[in-house]
Amino acid sequence: MNNKEYIERGRFAPSPTGRMHLGNVFSALLSWLSIKAQGGKWVLRIEDIDPQRSRMEYADLIMSDLEWLGLTWDEGPFYQSERGEIYEAELQKLADRGMTYPCYCTRADILATQAPHESDGRVVYKGTCRNLKPGTHSGPAAIRMRVPEEGEGIVSFVDGHYGEQTVDLTTQCGDFIVRRKDGAWAYQLAVVVDDALMGITEVVRGRDLLLSSPQQIYLAKELGFAPPRFTHLPLLCNTEGQRLSKRDRSLDMGALRSRFEAEDIIGLLAYKAGLQKSPNRVTAEELVAGFDWKKIGCEDIILVEN
């Protein structure tokens, strides 16, 4: 690709497991603004790889809500559920190099080996199945990606908002799943392959996914891809300090659209982000010219419902 053809490409990649809530909209808005401020294109990808929880009606609602908010996409929607053959080919490349192995551990097995590593309950897989001899186990198995030995798996990158990040994959992440035990594709593999093949140059998402970035950088490089830039943003939280989720039904788009206009919601989020001095009604398009990551704080944002 020569310089004349180069264009920045961002993406929004929601999972259709429920209606979008205000936290999802916050991520979508900042992703959209960031790429539009660079004159780039915004790609919509529906991450429907969880067959048990994904629903087409939720995907349709997500697209309806984005259009209502004025967050229109330039390419897509692309559905991960239709891209299994692509993931299979990339996984085979890793398997051929001995980079993967089957894991028969249950979640209970893994939890029993240690205390949670992170405050959100994250645990680091200890590699129980890493060196199993073929034929010693049978039944369904997840597929894990090998990370380097301790001290050799250091990944450093500069986050677009939180700055320099350094992670030891071995001690902080462990060998991670690239295909689930039920055969479904794991998030880490699918997202890395799709970002690369769709030419994504910038990924904007919540800071709760910060620890996923070094895993994705490592996996991308092992597959021969150039990883995108990562920019993480503060989380919207309820008055108890918990990040917004589908539990907060009063803040999902169904409830919000019944009470407010799109410009009200965009205005409130722009104010909370520091992009304007008051929660005045505004369109997303009107925010593009003044968008600057330096205006956005790093602390999570407490949202008080009215």
Going along 52-187, which residue ranges are E strands? Answer: 75-79, 100-103, 142-145, 154-159, 163-168, 176-179
Whole-number Å distance between alpha carbons of 90 and 29: 31
The CA-CA-CA angle for residues 7, 88, 100, to 5°, reads 105
Per-residue pLDDT at 118: 47
**Which positions ≥6 away from 28 have C-beta within 8 Å?**
12, 14, 20, 66, 69, 71
Q: pLDDT of 241-286, one tens digit each?
A: 788 776 666 689 999 999 999 999 999 999 999 999 999 999 999 9
Q: pLDDT of 60-93, one tens digit each?
A: 999 999 999 999 999 999 999 999 999 999 999 9
pTM check: above 0.85: yes
Per-residue pLDDT at 137: 81
List the beta bridge partners of residue 252. 21
